[in-house]
Amino acid sequence: MNLRSGLRAVAMAWALTLCIVELVLARLAAWRSGEGFTPLRRARWLQAACRQVTRSMGIRFRVEGVPPASGMLVSNHLSYLDILIYSAAVPCVFVSKAEVGSWPYFGFAARQGGTIFIDRTRRVSAQEVAQEMARRMADPVPILVFPEGTSSDGAQVMPFHSSLFEPAAATGAAVTAAAVRYESVGGGPERDLCWYGDESFVTHLWKTLGGPGFTAELVFGPPRVYANRREAARETREEVARMREQFSTAGS
């Protein structure tokens, strides 16, 4: 067994345990306040939890630009780690595939954090998700989506699915483009840190824990309002692609 993987696995398990304790305390505080476990309280708990977990995994992050406080936030997608990293950087809720809800611990944390799950095997699920997103656009917490629909090796930003932008366009909510990249402490290629193809979750997680660690760089653009979903998908995809190109130029 890789010693680094083992030590980090223990550290991560401890961090996850602390997160449960903090969840109980956060719910108790919400009950005492009489406000309930609001979307903002959920997002702040998830942010604190993800900061602990990313530190235990040897992951750091840098932020450029101003994260939004509401509306819709869209990004390229490199791995399930993006969820931890974005949550650590900014209080937010996610739109995620339904399978994540069944993952050990992470599924529980996602549900407690207010994640909106979409079941791709049910056509009606997309409509339900759109309605839920539209309802939450008024909350003081941004909704983060990965419009590529899947994670990639980072070689290019894939086309964005325009249907995910409909709730923002319909309600006039601002859309903020963001980009993420990974930079290995050991100087290895970004794709070695990405989760894509047929690699299993457990295999990738163990490899990440055993690596030298990495820094995630997040760049946030300005909020913009779009007239329709196709315009929003096209222009935000172009903006995210430009951000990724700037990463490559800066690193060369």
> pLDDT of 33-45, one tens digit each?
999 999 999 999 9
Res 247: pLDDT: 79
Low-confidence ranges of the chain (pLDDT < 50): 252
Alpha-carbon distance of 67 to 100, in angstroms, equals: 25
Res 220: pLDDT: 98
107 neighbors 121 (Cβ within 8 angstroms): no
Res 252: pLDDT: 45
Res 95: pLDDT: 93
Pairing state between β 93-97 and 143-145 = parallel
Domain locations along the chain: 3-251
232 neighbors 175 (Cβ within 8 angstroms): yes
Residue labelled with tokens 């207010």: 114
pLDDT, tens digit, 9 for 90 and up, residues 192-209: 999 999 999 999 999 999
Q: Identify the CATH assignment for 3-251 out of 3.40.50, 1.10.3470, 3.40.1130, 1.10.8.
A: 3.40.1130
Kindly report the three-state secondary structure assignment for every residue of the chain: CCHHHHHHHHHHHHHHHHHHHHHHHHHHHHHHHCCCCCHHHHHHHHHHHHHHHHHHCCEEEEEECCCCCCCEEEECCCCCHHHHHHHHHCCCEEEEEHHHHHCCCHHHHHHHCCCEEECCCCHHHHHHHHHHHHHHCCCCCCEEECCCCCCCCCCCCCCCCHHHHHHHHHHCCCEEEEEEEEEECCCCCHHHCCCCCCCCHHHHHHHHHHCCCEEEEEEEEEEECCCCHHHHHHHHHHHHHHHHHHHHHHHC
Res 1: pLDDT: 52
